[in-house]
Amino acid sequence: MRKLSQAEAIREALEQAMSEDERVILVGEGVPDPKGIFGTTSGLQQRFGKARVFDSPLSENGMTGICIGAAISGMRPVMVHQRIDFALLAMDQIVNNAAKWRYMFAGQVSVPLVIRVIVGRGWGPGPQHAQSLQALFAHIPGLKVVMPTSGRDAKGMLLAAIRDDNPVIFIEHRWLQGIVDHVPQASYVVPLDKAHVCRSGKDATLVAFSFMVVEALLAAKVLAEFGIDLEVIDARSVRPLDIPAFAASVRRTGRLIVADTAWKTGGIAGEVIASVTECAFDALRAAPLRIALPDLPVPTSHHLTRDFYPDALHIARAISAHLGRDIPDEALVSRLARSTPHDVPQLEFRGPF
């Protein structure tokens, strides 16, 4: 099977969706730009024309309202925000209109709208350009919220989101867009409500979101050498959460750990733990554990970001302590300390997912 980066997989999904359905349009700041939103929209305006692929002004709320109107009128818009932070300017349209119309009109009106938003760190993005706000959107009934990790899932879930009659917040992590993965060439869909077991294990269940899946798999591989056998689950969807899959895993392992790309307080990690506890409390042999960002705005200085983001080493240390295993720290450091600058994607992960 051929390999594509996640960015290439997303671009292929858009191209196939627009070829299959002339109602699909692509809108966003920088969509026809030469850089093409990390390459995910490159060449699409040349292929499908300016009437279906076009730039938008710095008017997020207004443009989102236009896209909602287009969706109600029978189009299937895909709107792109290069940072999830910019979507905050359109929260009135997203929360008060897109999420509500289907319910307010008893299903007679649907809003088949996909809003692509990008999260993730880099050099100096700071507190207004690097937030991970999935819990904020997942709180709103009427919105589906997904965070694909692999390129295969990114393509299949984007095609599923475009075909869905409900508004979908499609959250991409910029550090995943360069990772290469096996991606089928044919058009296919991946369900928007099913988690994926990336690694089977018996000692603890580790549910991870987005790029934390990569960090979790790196940590699990090293911890296995010290006798800790983790089951790693890619959550894929933030709303709805695949609680049955998480609970089934916890019934096998007896322990639950959740790794999120967002803050700890009010985050989706807490919701996973609460939901699993409600339905599988009797299976838990220890208190659950959350691994998330500290409750502080994202710093700009790379000296401060160095210790802000939990990585594979952080996860391994936290889990070994949580499970009461005495693993020499120097052993974990020698295996998991990053070999690349902390503000660029690490190269250790080669997949598959």
Question: Is the domain of 165 the same as that of 204?
Answer: no
Q: How many domains does the chain have?
A: 2
- Reduced to 3 states, what is the DSSP secondary structure of residue 25? strand
Flag whether 191 is in a domain: no
Flag whether 67 is in a domain: yes
Flag whether 143 is in a domain: yes
For 235-324, list the strands marked E by DSSP: 237-239, 256-263, 289-293
Question: Is the domain of 20 the same as that of 155?
Answer: yes
pTM assigned to the model:
0.95
Closest CA to 302 of 124, 129, 175: 124
DSSP-derived letter for residue 33 is S
Question: Is the domain of 148 the same as that of 206?
Answer: no
pLDDT digits (tens, 9 = 90+) for 334-347: 999 987 777 777 65
Residue after which a domain boundary falls, among 159, 183, 207: 183
Question: Is the domain of 173 the same as that of 239?
Answer: no
Question: Is the domain of 124 the same as that of 70?
Answer: yes
What is the rounded distance in angstroms from the CA atom of residue 149 to the CA atom of residue 172? 8
Exposure b/e, 285-307, CB count within 10 A at least 16 = b:
eeebbbbbbeeeebbbeeeebee
DSSP-derived letter for residue 90 is G
Average pLDDT of the residues of the chain? 93
Backbone angles phi, psi at 338, to 5 degrees: -65, 140
Question: Is the domain of 171 the same as that of 25?
Answer: yes
Flag whether 348 is in a domain: no
Residue after which a domain boundary falls, among 156, 183, 210: 183
Question: Is the domain of 176 the same as that of 209?
Answer: no
Positions in the chain short of pLDDT 70: 346-353
Question: Is the domain of 153 the same as that of 236?
Answer: no
Flag whether 350 is in a domain: no
Domain with residue 236: its CATH number is 3.40.50.920
Question: Is the domain of 274 the same as that of 144?
Answer: no
Q: Could you list the residue range(s) of the whole structural domain that residue 324 is in? A: 196-336
Domain with residue 95: its CATH number is 3.40.50.970
Catalytic center residues: 60, 129
pLDDT digits (tens, 9 = 90+) for 43-73: 999 999 999 999 998 889 999 999 999 999 9
Residue after which a domain boundary falls, among 183, 217, 243: 183
Across the beta sheet with 196-199, what order do the strands follow?
196-199, 230-234, 204-208, 256-263, 289-293
Backbone angles phi, psi at 62, to 5 degrees: -65, -45
Identify the helix (H) or strand (E) that includes residue 329. helix 329-336
Backbone angles phi, psi at 56, to 5 degrees: -130, 150
Backbone angles phi, psi at 80, to 5 degrees: -120, 130
What's the token pair of residue 319? 């889990």
Position 346 scores a pLDDT of 66
Flag whether 16 is in a domain: yes
Flag whether 38 is in a domain: yes
Flag whether 352 is in a domain: no
Question: Is the domain of 302 the same as that of 203?
Answer: yes
Exposure b/e, 92-103, CB count within 10 A at least 16 = b:
ebbbebbbbbbe
